[in-house]
Structure formats: C-alpha cells, structure tokens
C-alpha cells in the first residue's frame, strides 16, 4: 500500500489505517481475542501500518489487544492512542488534567508493550483544562521520549490553532465521510494552512455507506448506533437515497460502495488518512483494495456534487454526546 505523511510532521503511515475500536467496544459484543489478533495481523500483511486505539475502548481491552497483536512487528507500525476520560470510562466525563495525561500515558505504554507512543491524541477537548496546558503536558512527554507526536480529536479550528502554538499538532481526528462533510468548512482549511494531517474516523458512516444497512437492520443492544439519531429507522429509510446513489457510482467504477467512499476521501488531499474499522477479514480486504482505486479530478468532483444534492437526515450524535464536540 502507498504511504502518506501526516501534514508536515514527517510521520509516515499507510494510506489507510485500521480503526480498532469496534473489535472491543461500541458495536456490540467484543470480537473473540484470537480472531481479533488474526485480523490485526492480516491488516499488517495487507500493508496497513497505522493502527488506532484508545484507553476508553473497553476500557483498556483494545490497547492490550493491540499490544499483543502488534508486538512481533512493533517497529514497523505506527500506533495512535488517546487520553481524556476519567478512569478511561466515557460515561464518567472528561479529564485532561496533566496528572491524568501522565497516568494514562504510563499505563498505555505497558498495555501497548512499547517504549513510546507514536501518536497521542486528546480524545475530546476538555472545557475544564486549557488546551495550552494539555499541549504543554504532551510536549513534556515528547521531550521525555515517551510520546513521539501529538494529536487532537473532534477539536475546533480555534482549539487546534491554540494547541499548535504550544506543541506542533501532527494530526487531527474527526468524523468525515460522504455523509458528514462538516470538516470541509473550517477544519480542512485550517489543517492545510498549519501543515497538520487529517485522520477521518467513521469514513464509511458507521457502516451505513457500505449499503449493508437499511431500515430493517437491527443492532445488538450494546451497539451505540441504537442511540444515534441518524440511525433511527425513519432516518435510515430517508437516507437510503444516498446509499443508492453511491451504489450506482460504484457499479460504474467496478467497485463496491465502501471502496468508492474511501477512494473519495483519499482523493481529497495527500495528507488525509482514513481509518475504517471492521471485525471481518473479507471487509478488511475490501477496504484495503480501496487504496488502489484512483478517481479522476472530474470523477471526484462529480461524486461530491451528486452526494451533496441529497439532504441527509438525522444528527450524527445524540445530544449528550454532541456536547463533547468542541465548537
């Protein structure tokens, strides 16, 4: 797989990474550990060198899983993890105090079986701790050799600028896909100006853009899509028009809907690296193959223009989670 650099940082990763959250958290029961390790190692064999986790995924289980799975080739991969919640539990609220950042980093180093974290993100911006203080803490950890690069997740352009002034931000991670294009307004221009890489999570719309979900689909009771307004039965039905259009475009390119959705993101900028997640080997291979699809400038524009004509229904987060998004 081709490599990309996240902004001006020099951090080189595969054009597509692997979002590992769903192996342990968020989308129903955790994947069997042996199968999860097999999937992560198969991703590496397929050319993926960028793996995304967080202490909150489990909590802790996902980091431990990656530590074990990636240990045989640790020096050939880039691992990104995150701090920012009390005790690693999202339901307890945010905690980006310097003490917690340091404690999480030390624990993550052990779970990931590594001497340094390649990319450490603030998982969500903490309104109670100035981002300058967060950036300063990570800067100290970088100077100590425990962290190599600093990142932010779901941060506003203003917050990114403030953090970047204290410690160079290597990457920003936020949701971005053909059905959530808000980052195009302020985030992408700011990142281009500052030389920061962009890592879209949920690049397949939490599975919806694959075309494998419709209004009749039922989710496991522990699947967080049950509380996402965009995934209500009514909204899934309304949003089917987007999926149908994507399927038509994919057929014309002899590709799958998921591959076109990923190829469109890859065609945006050389410093964009999507991190689709999956628990299935055949989906992994399908996603990886998207890196080989080249869209012409006209195809790229036509896809974006066509999709933008469809008014997507439903908020991407329920109200209590939307409050955690930095405005």
Residues 243-300: tens digit of each pLDDT: 999 999 999 999 999 999 999 999 999 999 999 999 999 999 999 999 999 999 999 9
| Dihedral over Cα of 254, 260, 264, 270: its sign | negative
Residue 251 has φ and ψ, to the nearest 5°, of: -60, -40
C-alpha to C-alpha distances, 250 to 71, 210, 256, 263, 268, nearest whole angstrom: 37, 11, 5, 11, 18
What's residue 265's pLDDT?
98
What is the pLDDT, as a whole number, of residue 91? 94
Instruction: Look at residue 92 and tell me whether its pLDDT is greater than 90.
Output: yes
pLDDT surpassing 90 at residue 327: no
Q: Which residue ranges form the domains of the chain, and what is each CATH number? A: 3-322 (3.20.20.100)
> For this structure, is 57 an active site residue?
yes
CB contact at 8 A, 126 and 96: yes
Mean pLDDT, all residues of the chain: 97
Choosing from 57, 121, 176, 317, the catalytic residue is 57
144 pLDDT tier (thresholds 50, 70, 90): very high
B/e letters for 282-293, b = 16+ CB within 10 Å, e = fewer, are ebbebbbbbbeb
Confidence of residue 110 (pLDDT cuts 50, 70, 90): very high
Mean pLDDT value across residues 218-243: 96
Separation between Cα atoms, residue 288 and residue 125, nearest integer Å: 31
Start-end of H helices in 6-96: 33-45, 61-70
Cα separation, 272 vs 266, whole angstroms: 6
What pLDDT, in 10s, does the model give residues 170-204?
999 999 999 999 999 999 999 999 999 999 999 99
């Amino acid at each position: 797989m081709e490599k990309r650099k996240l902004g001006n940082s020099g951090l080189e990763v595969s054009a597509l990474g692997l979002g590992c959250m769903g192996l342990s958290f968020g989308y129903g029961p955790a994947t069997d550990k042996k199968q999860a390790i097999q999937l992560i190692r198969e991703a590496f064999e397929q050319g993926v060198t960028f793996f995304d986790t967080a202490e909150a995924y489990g909590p802790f289980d996902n980091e431990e899983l990656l530590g074990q799975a990636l240990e045989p080739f640790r020096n050939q991969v880039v691992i990104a993890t995150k701090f920012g919640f009390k005790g690693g539990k999202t339901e307890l609220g945010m905690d980006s105090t310097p003490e917690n950042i340091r404690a999480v980093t030390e624990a993550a180093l052990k779970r990931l079986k590594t001497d340094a974290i390649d990319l450490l993100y603030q998982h969500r911006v903490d309104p109670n701790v100035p981002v300058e203080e967060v950036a300063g803490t990570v800067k100290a950890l970088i100077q100590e050799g425990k962290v190599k690069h600093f990142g932010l997740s779901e941060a506003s352009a203003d917050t990114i600028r403030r953090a970047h002034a204290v410690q160079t931000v290597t990457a920003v991670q936020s949701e971005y896909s053909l059905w959530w294009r808000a980052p195009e307004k302020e985030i992408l221009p700011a990142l281009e100006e500052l030389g920061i890489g962009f890592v879209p999570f949920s690049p397949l719309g939490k599975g919806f853009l694959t075309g494998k979900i419709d209004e009749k689909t039922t989710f496991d009771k522990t699947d967080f899509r049950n509380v996402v307004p965009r995934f209500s039965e009514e909204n899934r039905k309304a949003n089917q028009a987007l999926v149908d259009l994507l399927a038509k475009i994919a057929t014309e390119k002899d590709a799958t809907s998921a591959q076109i959705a990923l190829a469109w993101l890859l065609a945006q900028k050389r410093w964009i690296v999507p991190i689709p997640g999956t628990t299935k080997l055949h989906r992994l291979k399908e996603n990886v193959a998207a890196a080989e699809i080249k869209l012409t400038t006209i195809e790229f524009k036509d896809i974006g223009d066509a999709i933008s004509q469809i008014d997507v229904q439903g908020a991407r987060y329920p109200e209590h989670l939307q409050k955690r998004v930095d405005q």
